[in-house]
């Protein structure tokens, strides 16, 4: 594809599209090369180390801590897309050989692959600090990008122009409504639709006109296979807009990685066919999700001994109860390990230390996860901190934020008592 005159999204390089694998799924020819390119962009987004992502970082203008959102969304995502179902004529671009298609990712293969990787986020988790941000692309940036694309016949849709919207609408909707559709209307040849997702498939229902709410045709865009332990595989909310103009078909796909908050409180106006169809989409997604709500539990991650040390350091540093501070300072790079997780771990450690109070002092096992035995020094520190805080709690007046002083102060208190 000729990228001349088209602004590459996210500062990515406009190299020609080539088949790529990303996070365990191969990028087939989906709708057109734009989507694939977006996926390639996604790959570099997630896989590349922080220092290689200056362009992206600065473009987003949010700092890399917001990338944690994407990480977590990808964790929710945990899907592999297999678009080999896609008809050849759709999009008219098939960079894959027939073998590629046939060999394309079978669910079992993908599943095995993902299991081997164990957790996709391991690949990039270290690069992306956690975030509580609600969005990773400001709306202004979306608009800016759209305006830059304005004037092109049909530009390119990036995978993630998700704008912040408390109501739960998706950024692409606005893009479609404000830019894409007007363009298409002027050309008089619109084929708009929406992608619906069920448990493992994505369909694209197209509409001939806005009056007609009934899908003219439903096309199976693809299916995804969930990872073994992954839950919430239905959280992916995909939206597709296909537009024909000048004899070309340009299509957009967007992915909503945000987890559905239920109950879904999005009150969308139903006079808009696009929006209303989306709300239908949301409904189905929500229904399906509530079904598979049993496996809500996150993949259990073993605490390493290093993490425990960091936890103890954090408690020594900030004091008990400052779980958020501890998280921010000592577990900033760990996208998992929420403050609650850290607190829970401390609770467990405390229980353990109380349980094994006097026994097996001499048996110091260095194997942590294998022997399931907490090293002696760790246990010692746990008891130290525990007794420290239980005793110095009474005469501890404020200034718990004073981290530089708190430790010495507490140590003093301990020695005093």
Nearest distance, CB of residue 259 and DNA, angstroms:
10
- Assign 3-state DSSP to the chain and report helix, strand, coil percentages, each to 5: 45, 15, 45
Within 112-141, which residues bind DNA (CB under 7 A)? 132
Rg (Cα) of the chain, in Å, rounded? 26
Within 339-378, which residues bind DNA (CB under 7 A)? 339-341, 343-345
* Site membership for DNA, residue 76 (CB under 7 A): no
Q: Which residue from 122, 162, 215 is spatially nearest to 38, judged by alpha carbons?
A: 162
Specify the residue, 202 or 315, whose C-beta has the smaller distance to DNA. Answer: 315
CA distance 8 to 38: 10
Nearest distance, CB of residue 274 and DNA, angstroms:
29
Q: How many CB atoms lie within 10 A of CB 405?
A: 11
Lookup result for tokens 């078909």: 249
Lookup result for tokens 């912040």: 164
Per the DSSP assignment, residues forming a β-bridge with 152 are: 150
* Site membership for DNA, residue 301 (CB under 7 A): yes
Specify the residue, 206 or 403, whose C-beta has the smaller distance to DNA. Answer: 403
* Site membership for DNA, residue 286 (CB under 7 A): no
Distances (CA, A) of 220 to 28, 84, 217, 312: 14, 10, 10, 52
What DSSP designation does 209 have?
S
Q: Which residue from 5, 6, 8, 28 is spatially nearest to 18, judged by alpha carbons?
A: 28
Asked if residues 10 and 141 have their Cβ atoms less than 8 Å apart, the reply is: no
* Site membership for DNA, residue 294 (CB under 7 A): no
Beta strands in 54-125 (DSSP E): 79-82
**Which part of the chain contacts DNA (CB under 7 A), choosing from 31-39, 205-213, 270-278, 316-324?**
316-324
* Site membership for DNA, residue 297 (CB under 7 A): yes
Angle of CA points 150, 164, 328, to nearest 5°: 130
Nearest distance, CB of residue 166 and DNA, angstroms:
11
**Which part of the chain contacts DNA (CB under 7 A), choosing from 151-159, 237-245, 295-303, 381-389?**
295-303
**Which part of the chain contacts DNA (CB under 7 A), choosing from 18-26, 58-66, 213-221, 314-322?**
314-322
Indicate the length of the chain as a whole number. Answer: 417
Asked if residues 238 and 253 have their Cβ atoms less than 8 Å apart, the reply is: yes
Specify the residue, 376 or 407, whose C-beta has the smaller distance to DNA. Answer: 407
Residue among 298, 356, 401, 412 that touches DNA (CB under 7 A): 298
What DSSP designation does 176 have?
I
Residue among 4, 167, 267, 300 that touches DNA (CB under 7 A): 300
Nearest distance, CB of residue 321 and DNA, angstroms:
3
Angle of CA points 403, 405, 409, to nearest 5°: 120
Specify the residue, 32 or 341, whose C-beta has the smaller distance to DNA. Answer: 341
CA 402 and chain centroid, separation = 35
Specify the residue, 213 or 261, whose C-beta has the smaller distance to DNA. Answer: 261
Nearest distance, CB of residue 165 and DNA, angstroms:
15
Specify the residue, 109 or 117, whose C-beta has the smaller distance to DNA. Answer: 117
Specify the residue, 184 or 334, whose C-beta has the smaller distance to DNA. Answer: 334
**Which part of the chain contacts DNA (CB under 7 A), choosing from 65-73, 163-171, 338-346, 356-364?**
338-346
* Site membership for DNA, residue 212 (CB under 7 A): no
Specify the residue, 17 or 318, whose C-beta has the smaller distance to DNA. Answer: 318
Buried b (16+ CB within 10 A) or exposed e, 120-139: bbebbbebbbbbeeebbbee
Specify the residue, 7 or 329, whose C-beta has the smaller distance to DNA. Answer: 329
* Site membership for DNA, residue 322 (CB under 7 A): yes
Phi-psi region of 73 (alpha: psi -120 to 50; beta: other; left: phi over 0): alpha
Query: For binding to DNA (CB under 7 A), which residues are involved?
Result: 132, 296-298, 300-301, 320-325, 336-337, 339-341, 343-345
């Amino acid at each position: 594809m000729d990228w001349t005159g088209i602004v590459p999204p996210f500062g990515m390089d406009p190299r020609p599209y080539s088949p790529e694998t990303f996070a365990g799924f191969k990028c087939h020819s989906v709708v057109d090369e734009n989507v694939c390119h977006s996926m390639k962009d996604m790959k570099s987004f997630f896989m590349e180390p922080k220092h290689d992502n200056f362009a992206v970082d600065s473009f987003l203008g949010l700092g890399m801590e917001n990338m944690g959102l994407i990480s977590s969304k990808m964790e929710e995502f945990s899907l592999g897309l297999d678009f080999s179902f896609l008809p050849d004529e759709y999009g008219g671009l098939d960079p894959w050989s027939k073998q590629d298609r046939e060999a394309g990712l079978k669910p079992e293969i993908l599943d095995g692959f993902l299991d081997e990787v164990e957790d996709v986020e391991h690949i990039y988790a270290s690069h992306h600090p956690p975030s509580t941000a609600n969005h990773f692309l400001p709306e202004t940036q979306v608009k800016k990008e759209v305006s830059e694309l304005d004037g092109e016949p049909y530009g390119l849709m990036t995978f993630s122009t998700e704008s912040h919207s408390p109501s739960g609408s998706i950024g692409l909707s606005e893009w479609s409504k404000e830019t894409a559709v007007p363009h298409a209307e002027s050309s008089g040849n619109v084929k708009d639709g929406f992608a619906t997702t069920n448990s493992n498939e994505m369909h694209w229902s197209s509409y001939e006109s806005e009056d007609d709410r009934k899908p003219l045709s439903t096309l199976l865009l693809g299916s995804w296979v969930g990872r073994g332990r992954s839950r919430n595989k239905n959280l992916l909310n995909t939206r597709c807009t296909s537009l024909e103009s000048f004899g070309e078909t340009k299509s957009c796909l967007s992915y909503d990685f945000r987890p559905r908050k239920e109950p879904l409180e999005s009150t969308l106006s139903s006079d808009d066919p696009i929006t209303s169809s989306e709300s239908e989409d949301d409904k189905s997604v929500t229904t399906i999700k509530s079904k598979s709500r049993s496996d809500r539990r996150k993949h259990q991650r073993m605490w390493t001994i290093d993490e425990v040390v960091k936890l103890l350091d954090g408690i020594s540093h900030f004091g008990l109860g400052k779980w958020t501070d501890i998280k921010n300072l000592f577990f900033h790079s760990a996208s998992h390990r929420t403050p609650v997780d850290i607190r829970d771990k401390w609770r467990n450690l405390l229980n353990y230390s109380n349980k094994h109070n006097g026994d097996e002092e001499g048996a110091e096992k260095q194997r942590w996860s294998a022997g399931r035995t907490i090293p002696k020094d760790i246990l010692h520190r746990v008891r130290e901190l525990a007794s420290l805080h239980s005793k110095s709690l009474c005469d501890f007046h404020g200034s718990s934020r004073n981290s530089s002083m708190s430790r010495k102060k507490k140590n003093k208190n301990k020695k005093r008592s």
